[in-house]
Amino acid sequence: MTTDYAADLTAYRAAVREFVTSPVLDKWRGAATDDVADDMRSSAGLMRCLYDAGFGRYGMPPEVGGLGGDVRHWAVLFDELARAGLTPTGQHSLLTTLAYPVARFAPRLAAAYLPEFLSGDAWWGQGFSEPEAGSDLAALRCRATRDGDDYVISGSKIWTSHGATASRIVLLARTGTQESRHRGLSMILVDVDDPGVTVRPIALASGREELAECFFDDVRVPASRLIGAEGEGWAVAMYLLQYERAVYAWLRASALLQRVRVLTEAMADGGSGTGAADGILGGVYLDLVSLRARSVDTVRRLAAGQTVGPEASTDKLLLGACEQSVYDAARSLLGPAFMFGEAGRQWREEWWYSRTTTVYGGSAEVQRGIIADRVLKLPKE
């Protein structure tokens, strides 16, 4: 008797939970290295294992290598992975952000290239920000000029997520005039090994090279790699933003809840639990529950095919606050074990990374402005 996991989310959760707790995945449980490339190769193996078992294919339509279902299937998968000590992968964070807009606006590209992403055989970076255009994407200068059947791309990108290891980059480039602002942008899928592409890894404060600066020196890309119509890049980016705010927030909340469980166990094993420690952990847990309460509504709306607008900035604000509160709690409660030695290395790296979470993807200040202007409709100063 075959269960329809695309339609039966409860049965899907039960099957995923049984699979991710099996010994076949033990090699990835708690695995982490100092080298990002090694981590990505290792997590690619986990992606392949999930793909071959079928569980990593739900949430995407069959036309692009999926098995049906919707974003709730990803939410369930992330919960169960984290609960089993298997942190959702870096590939997952970009897959659930980039796959849906590509599937909607460029179905032929999605059919050709998303199966490799789902299976972990390849992954993509997100090339939006530039040295002079961070939160203000309408100021982008990287240019794509139409030349026959190709676009010729010139310019640079910075803070490209997983750009140092990605095989392709979803690039937001200017095809119109600088004065056209967001109306003159287009989105293109570019291969990293194309002639003229140079990638320079960026070391974070932790020393990990998760980001990259990318240079495009007259890179020729077939016009068939366009995601959406020319000049439609802003609309694609806004559609993408729903998933970056919602599904990524769920993924990170799942991982953070697991880290809180690890921290709680460390406190219990060390015999250092106190009323003050309980208060700190309780406060962190309440922060995460607040994020999940907000995020579950956003995920359900996406699953129902609704458009999630500027109110998704609330999810981004709550996630940044949770990221920092979890790791501030670890720094406070673990003391010397956090500051020194191999045992605290992962905590220290994650604490450093958490400092960026109120900046990347749109700073907290920008998100508050969006909420004030477009959600609460407060009067202008």
Catalytic center residues: 244
Calculate the CA 56 to chain-centre distance.
16
121-124 long-range contacts (CB < 8 A, ≥24 apart) are 121/44, 121/48, 122/167, 122/168, 123/40, 123/44, 123/90, 123/91, 123/94, 123/95, 123/162, 123/165, 123/166, 123/167, 123/168, 124/94, 124/98, 124/166, 124/167, 124/168, 124/169, 124/170, 124/189
- The rounded distance, in Å, linking the Cα atoms of 2 and 175 is 49
Structure tokens at 184: 């003159």
Q: Could you tell me the CA-to-CA distances from 75 to 12, 254, 322, 366 in Å, in that order?
A: 11, 9, 18, 27
Q: 3-class DSSP state for residue 229?
A: coil
Among 49, 51, 46, 66, which Cα is nearest to 6's? 66
- Residue 159's φ and ψ, nearest 5 degrees, are 60, 35
8-state DSSP, 176:
S
- Residue 214's φ and ψ, nearest 5 degrees, are -120, 135
The helix (H) or strand (E) run that includes residue 188 is strand 185-191
Confirm if 294 and 252 have CB atoms less than 8 A apart: no
Confirm if 106 and 215 have CB atoms less than 8 A apart: no
End-to-end CA distance of the chain: 63
